[in-house]
Amino acid sequence: MTRTSRVAFVAACSALALGLSACGSDGGGGGDDAAPIKIGIIADLTGATGDVGSPYNEGMLAYIDHINAEGGIEGRMIEADSNDYAYEVPQAEDLYRQYVNDGVVAIQGWGTGDTEALSSRVASDELPFMSGSFAETLTDPEEAPYNFVVAPTYSDQMRVALNWINEDSGGSGEVAVFHNDSPFGQAPVADGEAWIEEQGYDLGYQAYPMPGGQQNYVGLLSQAQSQGAKYIVIQNVASPAALVAKDIADQGLDMKIVCLNWCANELFITTAGEEAAEGHMLIQPFAPLVAEKEGHEVINTYLEEEGIDPATIGTSWVQGWYVMHVMAEGIREAIASGDGEVDGPAIREALETMGEIDTGGVVGDGTVEFSAESHRGSTGTGVYMAEGGQMVEVEAGATP
């Protein structure tokens, strides 16, 4: 091969590389009147929390389906792009950058780790961000000005759980906290301990991280046993929590599980089995369908139209539906009060100033409200007991 043809070959290769790298360019946009409103969803479908992450995502998409079928928000359709990030923070960051480039006006995220990792980014990009994470740090607009927490925080749920335990135990007892070994799991641990001190409860309190991928939690339970724990608060998703319930039943231990949020659902009961789950407590801020709140009617109508059996719809699905509902209401307010321009700051202002958002009794004590001082949407949560394979309401709208 001659020198000139070599040069030509190299040049051709480089040109090809340039051409390839230019592929996929796509300008972002949004804002003009009739165009659909773009929302990016970062979902965990196959990762460590996929058991509750996928119904949550389905609930969100169902809500969007429902609202688009009704003609959209003020005549504008919602266009949601949902992608799996498998509970990996770097993947979430990659998806986030993609959504920003696509011109989304708001983002629905999922885990605590990735929501925290993205919080300063969404603040500088001015994109309202809701997620499946209810960590306390995200409710402070000083720290995270564009994060909105729809439900009571994990810490508030932990406080409600401790209040209940204090009452149930007659004022003294040992509490073991089993938590997911991640920012999500650790979120309420320290706040729980502070709460016991603050309230002057005579409760022992010890936290144990739950190693992932276990076949059983017998080892952890024996540690809790030597602590003398009668109550086990679990801050993890349903599948590992169900394993703990099974182990307790197998070993005939006298322990009561108090599940927070992501394990307080039907999946926990069905995975553990009706018998093993019997009598355990579930702190769940979103009312399950069996609680038959007013806000469930719209879901039931939707399910009927789609021919979906309501028995297959768990609480996580309802959570997804109503978190998306709160965001959609914010967007509706932004359109109504603004000049038709829908962007991040407008939605943020709408959410902060619109007052109470009605959820028909499904979320917390029924309504969600944000303000410029606090992005804590609600403090009330339902308390349920697993009874005969169902979630039976013990108390609605319990606050710390």
Partner 1 sequence: MAMTATGVHHRSYTSELRLRATRAEYVRLALMGVLLVVVPFVLDNYWMSIANTILIAIIGAVGLNILVGYTGQISLGQGGFLAVGAYTSVILSDRMGLPTPLAIALAVVMTAVVGTFFGLPGLRLKGLYLAIATLASQQIIEFLIRRDYGDFLTGGLGYINVERLGFLGFQVGGRDVFERQWYVILAVLAVLSVVAARNIFRTGLGRSFMAVRDQDIAAEAIGVNLTRAKLTAFAVSSGFVGLAGALTAHYSEVVSWEKFTLEVSILYLAMIIVGGLGSIAGAVYGAIFMTLLPVVIRNVANALESVVPFLGSQLPAVQNATFGLVIILFLIIEPRGLNRLWERIKEYFRFWPFRY
What does the binding site for partner 1 look like in residue numbers (CB under 8 A)?
1-4, 6-7, 9-11, 14, 17-18, 21-22, 24-28, 45-47, 83-86, 88-91, 93-94, 97-98, 100-102, 113, 116-121, 124-125, 137, 143, 182-183, 186, 190
- Give me the least distance between CB of 252 and partner 1, in Å please: 34
| Cβ distance to partner 1 smaller for residue 192 or 295 | 192
| Cβ distance to partner 1 smaller for residue 115 or 261 | 115
| Cβ distance to partner 1 smaller for residue 101 or 353 | 101
| Strands across the sheet containing 37-43 | 78-84, 37-43, 106-108, 129-130, 147-148
Q: Which of 214, 281, 284 is nearest to 243 (CA)?
A: 214
The strand ranges marked E within 277-356 are: 281-284
The 3-class secondary structure across 1-18, one letter per residue, is: CCHHHHHHHHHHHHHHHH
- Is 169 strand, coil or helix? coil
| Cβ distance to partner 1 smaller for residue 101 or 251 | 101
| Cβ distance to partner 1 smaller for residue 91 or 399 | 91
- Give me the least distance between CB of 96 and partner 1, in Å please: 9
Q: 318 φ, ψ to 5°? A: -60, -40
- Give me the least distance between CB of 179 and partner 1, in Å please: 13
Rounded to whole angstroms, the Cα distance separating 257 from 177 reads: 10
Query: Cα 105 to chain center, whole Å?
Result: 19
| Cβ distance to partner 1 smaller for residue 49 or 378 | 49
Angle between helices 50-69 and 315-337 (to 10 degrees): 40
- Give me the least distance between CB of 254 and partner 1, in Å please: 32
- Give me the least distance between CB of 117 and partner 1, in Å please: 5
- Give me the least distance between CB of 351 and partner 1, in Å please: 21
